[in-house]
Chains A and B, each alone.
Chain A
Amino acid sequence: MNWNMILYIVLNTAFVFLFAPLLISLIKKVKALCQGRHGTPLLQTYFQLFKLFKKEIIYSDNSSFIQRISPYLNIAFLLVASIFVPIVFIPAQESGFGNIILFLYLMVCARFFMALSGLDAGSTFGGMGSSREMTIASIIEPTTLMACAAIAFILKTTDIPQMFGTVLNGSILQYLPLLLVACSLFIILIVETARVPVDNPETHLELTMVHEAMILEQSGPKLALMELSYGIKQLILMALLINIIFPWGLATDATVSGILISVASFIVKAVILAVAIGVFESFFAKIRFFRLPDFFIIAFFLSFATILFELLS
């Protein structure tokens, strides 16, 4: 492991860690504005996390080591996954970081332990949340892989930094089918971050809840870690979508100016996407749980169509 890589890991992780909470509150703000409310301040998520870190931890007397370790594992898996998605600059090639399938499965790991912790306290809410989360995850997984396969097919690589590099060096006009995959990735992003047509991140006690139900028993700093990992997951999926279709601004080597431009351009793009997500959420109502496969099929079809398009051209 060389210095370039270590610098990249430190900067990228730090950026993801610090920037992730802002996007959570930004999307909330956009939704509030759409509904005609003022909404909370943009820094609200930071305040909340800070407050949670100062609180005590309460464990259920039914719970085991699973509930205790799952927040750590969650954030660890997602932070390692974030290394796979270059935001500050594209690092020199290094075996081990970048494979898109390993990236997907790191996120599966985080979900696996979160679902287990939902079952740990023996509460009905947690069990319901884990059951639904794992069901949704199972039926979206073929779509996710299909989208990744389509990208890998178009860009002829399975390495995420290389994908970004390829689009950066060419032009999106060369890779027009990517726009179709982008739609599919957008749906995957909505599903994975438990957003409105699939789940509702704002409810705690409705029967609609999936993600929030699983973390119901977490408290204090452990809940903060869970919230943070949610933010990180959202940010890296957004970064994947953004940098695959609009990577411009992303630096290819580690210079101060390059990194600053990358970060600044990424923030602009991320804010635009976050606004889009907020608006998208406001236009939809929650879909009935057993109707979800129909929604996922759209994304599946888009990815499959991309592959067909690329095959026949």
Chain B
Amino acid sequence: MQIEKFNYDNKIVRDFALATLIFGVVGMLVGLLAAIQLYEPAANLGNQYTSFGRIRPLHTNAIIFAFVGNAIFMGIYYSLQRLCKARMFSDVLSRIHFWGWQLIIALAAVSLLLGYTTGKEYAELEWPIDIMIALVWVTFGINMIGTIVKRREKQMYVAIWFYIATLVTVAVLHIVNSLELPISLTKSYSIYAGVQDALVQWWYGHNAVAFFLTTPFLGMMYYFLPKAAGRPVYSYKLSILHFWSLIFLYIWAGPHHLLYSSLPDWAQSLGVAFSIMLIAPSWGGMVNGLLTLRGAWDKVRDEPILKMFAVGITAYGMATFEGPLLSLKNVNAIAHFIDWIVGHVHVGALGWNGLLTFAIIYWIIPRIYNTTIYSKKLMNVHFWLATLGIVFYAIPMYWSGFTQGLMWKEFTPEGTLQYPEFLKITLKILPLHMLRSFGGALYLSGFLVLIYNVVKTIRQGKLVANEAAEAPAIEKSMGHGSEFWHAILERKPITFTVLAILVIVVGGAVELIPTFTIKSNIPTIASVKPYTPLELQGRDIYQREGCNTCHTQWIRPFRSETERYMGEYSKAGEFVYDHPFLWGSKRTGPDLMRIGGKYPDSWHYHHMIDPRTMSPGSIMPQYSWLAEQDLDISTTPKKLKAMKTLGVPYTEYEIDNGNVSLKVQADAITANLKKEGIVMESQKELVAVIAYLQRMGTDIKKQTTASN
């Protein structure tokens, strides 16, 4: 057998590792700022670029795609080469992948702060960046599949299956959810509307968690944990079972994000059923990870890398237990929109993604620098700071979540709401928010200790950019008669990839197709009309400022909600012209579905200039710049035309005279304000926002007849 000599590319691994460190600091700092803004409005820094509505998507994008994303690529580029006993397929593609991804991150940071957003959670980036993401992802895919094809190890180890599933599913999710109609380079409308848009978004959102935050990390766990523990994975059979079940089940579970919404009941039930089943394959992964450490627990005591794996995998187990629990309808009735969800995702992000990333960095860096870690003691310090950080983060969030969830729903014996004032409940939980930011600060300080340790390690070693390796060439003869079927599959990466795509597409299709076919059957409400040009512009500003990060537009069919928000619960037919849907997913502030007509225009004016003049103690940022900036009306005809293309029934006359009617409505609002002694020019952005807020949820009140 001929032994072939080759080199592993360690430089690309190092580059992704450094990017992970840099964006980890950025993402966590921005997260800390956002956490402080939630009890100290002055931390919004009084300008539009750093207000919570823009900072929050920056935080989530920076952590998910920049910090975790780079960590995934670091782990995959290191482990894939070794599992395939081959250098990456193409150094050029590796470099394009690296620099392309960093360019996307830079553009994302700038565009999100400037308010360019599609309004869809974890998919906020506008269409030119979406296209770049697709291209860079394809580059990564070619590089990865190319490496697998030219491998010298006949069988594909379990880690590689998880990488393949990640690759194909993220591509499918990203493309389907990002279909939008561009208005300009920085603005587009989702091609889906209302209920459909919500379903596609949460099919995406849920599976972004699955295939960006879970499967690549399971793959890395299957490589790095046995390496660090010096023993093979506990059960390879379990890994086959839980891999296929996990990718099969995950894709169906998205609708659990939309329980008690106007999504059809059957889709909600489907989401719940598959979410509950998901606990089995998720825990299969956790059990397989933890049991790999059986008989090695003495090592865990001395080795901080293993400690991080143990706590990280346990956090995965906790988060995946909470997931099914949260998707039970009766639990969800209280849990949705509250801080528990924030606690839940941070147990996953800080525990599972964070600790595994740290463990892998501590494993890789000394090896590619041909040295040992600078200080094991500092690794231990980091481990404790991170673990305590998670505890101080999660517990206050659970506590505050239950407090607000129960207070929202409490009635007096007479049958009126015990706490009708939303703000009173918010003020009650602020101390817990302070404690949460302390937890976040602890976690960040631990990360800074890692950076110091890594920099010192790098200084004492030298990068082995090309690590020499050798392996026998792969044998041409394949298989003998009655062979285990999975063994055959593990030699055929392309077949494997196609099968993985099939498995995820079945779930996606069954979930999405019926909803598309019911388009014509969503009960139209005769009195629901398209937005006026001014309201449409106002809605776009609402989206730009990220109002939907704190306010829902989604009153659930509970008495506690219809009572509090003084109106009917949300109906599917009310959203038919909403491109994109802006239902939100968190109630930091009250729901706004029926805000229209609740207060006079002047109330909104004062409230936007300084929320605390109208609601003392409010934690909402001020939006005074809206009263200073002129509305860009040059986009009005384009926007109306795009909406018409998407099926909103604007007439040609309405499109051609969009700015005329816009001006008439704006003048009416400013005249109204003048009566209250407020002087404002009608071309200011705030006028459009007031128009939108006053329209919201009012159409149904005009209802005289409704079809269906």
A and B from one complex:
no
A interface with B by C-beta (< 8 Å): none
B interface with A by C-beta (< 8 Å): none
